[in-house]
Amino acid sequence: MKIEQTVQTTPQAALEITDLGVAYESTWVLDHIDLTVKQGEFIGIIGPNGAGKSTLLKTLAGLIRPSRGEIRFPAARGRRHPVGYVPQRFDLDPDLPLRARDLVGLGLDGHRWGFAWPNAQRGRKIEQALAQVDLTGFADHPAGKLSGGQLQRVLIAQALVSDPELLLLDEPLSSLDLASAQTVVDVVHRVSQNLGVTVLLVTHDMNPLLPVMDRLIYVVNGQAVIGTVDQVVQKDVLDKLYGYDVEVLRLHGRILVVGDETASGDAAGFEHR
């Protein structure tokens, strides 16, 4: 199955979004989103707070029902699970009787009724998933006592063990120190390369992703533009998206988008979680 995918010369679309709209009460949080993501691409979803990044990701994960439009996963076709979702950081009770392997195991068969009877094959799959995120040896560690970056990686393993076509990560880098954030980026990048998984990663800071991402989806005020960094992170493109003048600064390989915060419309004034 995997070989067949790598042999294909022109990658199939992993995700097709047509005229997607999400409304809360009478406000359109996302409107007229049209984009296509190719199989195996590493996509960053970038934008200011409250722009609709997480809403877009949650809609793809099936947590929010679109008010309009269509989302399709053409490459999945029942062969693989379409999406593996890694939620925004949350804290687990340190005394929770749950090990890293239990969390990953739930990703494998948590949707089935009854208990999971221990068997060697199940254990191997779980340990393999943990190895993919560099957490070999952490299988029996209490889940509530993992560090933020480790828990993030266990949740990535939990998503990977279901063999997803797309990996969706909601702000996996926020509230992590630089080193842990870099580890998470490296792990996700390697996984996307080795397993051919398409990655969509939400972050408000695009810089850690610059070396690894193929394209980005820039979301502002419920509108989105997809393209390479050079295509999208340009003054004329972003001016149009923000609806006012912004500056794009490139300093020592880092990119900063400086908006006029006093102008109307930044972040559309609402926070959505």
Partner 1 sequence: MTWYQYIWAPGIWGNPAVHTAWTAGTLVALASGTVGVFVVMRGQSFTGHALGDVGSTGAAGAFLAGVGALWGFLAAGAVTGGSIEWLGRRVRERDIATGVVMAFMLGLSALFLYLVSIYTNASNAPMAILFGSLFTVSPSLQPALLGLSIAALAILALIYRPLLFSTATPEVAQSRGIPVRLVGLAFMLALVVAAEEAALAVGAILSTALLIGPAATAARMARRPGMAVLLAAGLAVGNIWLGILLAYDSYWWPPIHTGWPVSFFVTVVSLGMYAAGGLIQRVRTTVREGGR
Q: Which residues bind partner 1 (CB under 8 A)?
A: 58, 61-63, 83, 85-87, 92-93, 95-99, 102-103, 106-107, 109-116, 140, 142-143, 155, 158-159, 162
Q: Which is nearer to partner 1, 86 or 238 (CB)?
A: 86
Which residue's CB is nearer to partner 1, number 78 or number 114? 114
Q: How far is the CB of 62 from partner 1 (least distance, A)?
A: 5
Q: Comparing C-alpha atoms, which of 173, 158, 174 is closest to residue 83? A: 158
Three-point CA angle 44, 168, 122, nearest 5°: 140
Return the structure tokens found at 120. Answer: 């060697």
Closer residue to partner 1 (CB): 150 or 158: 158
Q: Using DSSP, how many helices (H) and how many strands (E) does the chain show?
A: 8, 11
Q: What is the dihedral of CA 179, 149, 61, 3, to 10 degrees?
A: 70
- C-beta of 23: minimal distance to partner 1 in Å? 19
Nearest distance from C-beta of residue 235 to partner 1, angstroms:
36
Cβ 120 to partner 1 shortest distance, Å? 17
Q: What SS3 state is found at 28?
A: strand
Q: How far apart are CA 46 and CA 188, in angstroms?
A: 17
| Cα-based distances in Å from 80 to 160, 165, 166, 199 | 11, 6, 10, 15
> 56 or 143, CB closer to partner 1?
143
Tell me whether residue 160 or residue 206 sits nearer to partner 1 (CB atom). 160
Residues in contact with 213: Cβ distance below 8 Å, sequence separation at least 6, in sequence order: 42, 43, 44, 201, 206, 229
CB 199 to partner 1: min, Å: 16
Least gap, CB of 93 to partner 1 (angstroms): 8
From CA 100, how far away is CA 146, in angstroms rounded?
8
Which CB atom, from 147 or from 193, has the smaller least distance to partner 1?
147
